[in-house]
Amino acid sequence: MFEAFYAKYESEEFEVIAIINNCIGTCSNTRLNFWEMTASTIGLKVCATGEIISTPVHLSWPIAGDDRSGKMSFDRFAQEQVCALKVRKMKAKSAPNLLTPHYCIVSVIDEHANCPELMSLLEEYRKEVVLEDEDLGTLVLNKDINLFEGKVDYGADRFTLYLEVDALDKNTWTQAFNAAKALICKGAYWDQPMCEFAAKELSDLANDYREEEDYDDESLYAPSDLEEISEEEFACRISIFELIVNAGGEFTAYYNDDDMFSGRVITVTGSLEKGIEDANLKG
């Protein structure tokens, strides 16, 4: 049943000891009716050579399509579980552009293994990580969801900043931090241009939305009596409350709608490379 899955991996099997970080997701093969589960590691030791791999490794295994909620899926491994595994390495031709090593799990040798050599990696992982910056404030890393989070004071307002990173790859911390710094402190696409872009894209919709609202008999105004919301007014009324920036310089800003859409959220997306690309309603 799983021949197509294992065909992506070398035939040689070898033993490793791994500290599991978390299960990072699934993908499905609907034609063959199986799911591919993947977990990431905090650290891994190749038993035959003693090599210690401190960067994330992805460990995958297949499950039948009707077993996705079973014990072999997301709950197969616990966070920080140390286990001995028999694995096979993914073939080079199956992963031409993957930066993270990929192994498939052949079997679990020991669900609760002991490996003193990996304990320093686990201790380092458990340490709190905080970034301090004069402009961005204090950002704390949530390693479970690979996000730095902090509050940024912006004029009289304050918004939440999230940096999407790989918790175990410090290069992504630097990249996401620098991207946020460039965007907020000297970016040509920051707040006011985002508001103006959203206004250009959504002000007509705001007026259409208002005209479609029901007014009861006691209302002082009929829709036709209300002045249209101009792009300038729209841009002034919305306010940012959340910003997400990733290591590639892509960003999503979330704005309050000042009740122009009955409390829905306005999103503005783009990147440092391409500029502002889209504005939409959420919720």
Contacts of residue 54, defined as CB under 8 A and 6 or more positions apart, other chains included, come to: 43, 121, 168
The confidence score (pLDDT) of residue 29 equals 60
Instruction: Assess whether 163 and 115 both reside in one domain.
Output: no
Question: Domain holding 23: CATH number?
Answer: 2.40.50.140
- Residue 38, pLDDT above cutoff 80: yes
Burial state string for 70-85 with b = 16 or more CB within 10 A and e = fewer than 16: eeeeeebbeeebbbbb
The confidence score (pLDDT) of residue 268 equals 98
Instruction: Compute the average pLDDT of residues 203-232.
Output: 70
Q: Pick the last residue of a domain from 120, 138, 172.
A: 120
Q: Pick the last residue of a domain from 120, 136, 166.
A: 120
The confidence score (pLDDT) of residue 74 equals 80
- Residue 187, pLDDT above cutoff 90: no
pLDDT digits (tens, 9 = 90+) for 250-283: 999 999 999 999 889 999 999 999 999 999 999 7
Q: Pick the last residue of a domain from 120, 138, 160.
A: 120
Instruction: Assess whether 171 and 54 both reside in one domain.
Output: no
The confidence score (pLDDT) of residue 220 equals 47
Instruction: Assess whether 134 and 102 both reside in one domain.
Output: no
Instruction: Assess whether 149 and 259 both reside in one domain.
Output: yes
Instruction: Compute the average pLDDT of residues 67-76.
Output: 73
Amino acid found at 69: S
Instruction: Compute the average pLDDT of residues 6-26.
Output: 91
Q: Give the number of domains in the chain.
A: 2
Instruction: Assess whether 132 and 248 both reside in one domain.
Output: yes
Reported pTM: 0.72
Instruction: Compute the average pLDDT of residues 97-126.
Output: 91
Report the DSSP pairing between strands 239-246 and 157-164.
parallel
Residue recorded with tokens 């402009």: 135
Which of residues 33 and 279 earns the better pLDDT score?
279
Instruction: Assess whether 232 and 280 both reside in one domain.
Output: yes
Instruction: Assess whether 214 and 75 both reside in one domain.
Output: no
Instruction: Assess whether 151 and 52 both reside in one domain.
Output: no
Instruction: Assess whether 207 and 275 both reside in one domain.
Output: yes
Instruction: Assess whether 163 and 238 both reside in one domain.
Output: yes
Length of the chain: 283
pLDDT digits (tens, 9 = 90+) for 46-63: 999 999 999 889 999 998
pLDDT band at 30 (very low <50, low <70, confident <90, very high): low
- Residue 17, pLDDT above cutoff 80: yes
Instruction: Assess whether 116 and 251 both reside in one domain.
Output: no
pLDDT digits (tens, 9 = 90+) for 123-175: 988 999 999 999 999 999 998 788 999 999 988 789 999 999 988 888 999 99
Q: Are 161 and 243 in contact (CB under 8 A)?
A: yes
User: Would you tell me how many other CB atoms lie within 10 Å of the CB of residue 189?
Assistant: 20
- Residue 219, pLDDT above cutoff 60: no
Instruction: Assess whether 255 and 223 both reside in one domain.
Output: yes
Instruction: Compute the average pLDDT of residues 23-46.
Output: 81
The confidence score (pLDDT) of residue 150 equals 97
Q: Are 266 and 198 in contact (CB under 8 A)?
A: yes
The confidence score (pLDDT) of residue 210 equals 79
User: What domain range includes position 263?
Assistant: 128-283
